[in-house]
Amino acid sequence: MAKKRVAIIGVTGSVGQEFVQSLNNHPWFEVTQIAASERSAGKKYLDAIKDSSGIVAWDVGGEIPEYIKEMTVKSIDELDVSQLDLVFSAVESEAARDIETKMAVDLPVISTSSAYRYENDVPILIPGINDEQTELLDIQKKNRNWKGWVAPLPNCTTTGLAITLKPLLEKYGAKKVMMTSMQAISGGGKSGVSAMGITDNIIPYIPKEEGKVRQETRKILGKLKDGKIEEADIRISCTCTRVPVIDGHTESVFVETTKEIDPARAKETYNQCNKDISVIGLPSAPKDYYAFHEDPTRPQPRMERTVGDGMTTTIGRVEKEELFDNGLKYMLFSHNKKMGSAKGAVLLAEMLYKKGKI
């Protein structure tokens, strides 16, 4: 099988570097072109990620993959779309919408940015959770007269919440959700959180985050009907905070369900999902999509972030919630830089490739 030729846009940034790592020796995709800002264009990748003092600013774990070191970074305009099958967009600026629009005219685009998330003909996809909404991509192509499409991932805080709610919604119904997040520093990007601001501190507000979580969760958990997504009828209240943890978002969740639920039923539901989840066998999928802990001290970021190479969502502290007639409370852990970002985007590409969309 010939590998699909892919480009990474925004390749020098922290999310771009995660893409570089996630696509190293990938069995289905091969990075053949890379692009970044004009400042980096024309440089070898290794030179493009050096700072002004000559230090190589490689922000992700492990060694820089050999395949990327000598590749020349192009400007967006220099990308040869005729020699590509797919684009991964890791653009972290307001330019994302213009760039992704330009690429989607000719090619499928999978994005970690919010530029297209809230358009009516654009699904926010989490592989294994709302795969049926991929059919909206064909409608998007037709609506916009594009050869490609844009498929964005959700906000990384939304990812863990939507993943853990989906099985509960399907089997027990979900009417109300209250969530408090404890989000990692890396979720703010390279310049998002100052060391002086986060050390020995908790920041109780992240601009626009709570609105994103509410809107995106309802859209992801909605149903595709007559070419449109009908949002899930769930009332969501959330408080998003930043804590001095490097990688991985932890969330405290309270759910009111329609049917009676308890920890034993929840455990059975998540275990069954591990057997039925649609992404089983995909190259980037974890062995277990969900990890369910009865140990009340779990999940913990330092312990969970390596589980399933950051692709497993961990659930713990599961208890009946007495505030509701039918309710559950639990803690979750989701890796914001893996499942919630580049590697999750690669898993999405694998799912869409399997479905014949790429």
Residues with active-site annotation? 156, 249
Cα 211 to Cα 222: distance, rounded to the nearest angstrom: 17
What's the CA angle centered on 93, arms 110 and 342, to 5 degrees? 35
Find out whether 185 and 242 touch, Cβ atoms under 8 Å. Answer: yes
In b/e form, how buried is each residue of 58-87, taking b as 16+ CB within 10 angstroms? bebeeebbeebeebebbebeebebeebbbb
Find out whether 251 and 194 touch, Cβ atoms under 8 Å. Answer: no
CA dihedral 138, 165, 211, 144 (to 10 degrees): 0
Three-state SS for 3?
coil
Three-state SS for 30?
strand
Cα 176 to Cα 204: distance, rounded to the nearest angstrom: 22
Find out whether 356 and 84 touch, Cβ atoms under 8 Å. Answer: no
> 254 pairs with which residues across the strands?
178, 329
What's the CA angle centered on 334, arms 333 and 337, to 5 degrees? 140
> How many CA atoms, within 13 angstroms, populate the side-chain half-sphere of residue 10?
26
